[in-house]
């Protein structure tokens, strides 16, 4: 058994959201959850999050001697 309560999900999708059965079965679990108001998305990035990304993935330094192009 999958542990998914299909009758409840089908009732929510077909009766609650008024989806056709075909449209219901074409949805991914993530799409259905979003339509049902769950998982409202990730929080916006904070300055600390941006600083962590910049530290992990620094911009390449530019060499002024070659017109600003990287020396690959």
Better pLDDT: 72 or 18: 18
Q: How crowded is residue 55: how many other Cβ atoms within 10 Å of its Cβ? A: 8
pTM of the full structure: 0.50
In this predicted model, which residue has the larger pLDDT, 64 or 25?
A: 25
Q: 1-21, pLDDT tens digit by residue?
A: 468 888 999 999 999 999 999
pLDDT in tens, 18-52: 999 999 999 998 899 889 888 666 778 899 999 99
Domain boundaries, the chain: 1-38
Distance CA 66, CA 70 (A): 8
**Residue 47: per-residue pLDDT:** 94
């Amino acid at each position: 058994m999958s542990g998914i309560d299909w009758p409840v999900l089908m009732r929510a999708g077909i009766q609650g959201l008024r989806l056709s059965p075909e449209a219901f079965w074409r949805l991914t679990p993530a799409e259905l959850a979003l339509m049902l108001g769950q998982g409202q998305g990730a929080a916006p990035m904070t300055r600390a999050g941006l600083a962590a990304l910049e530290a992990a993935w620094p911009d390449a330094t530019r060499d002024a001697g070659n017109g600003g192009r990287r020396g690959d």
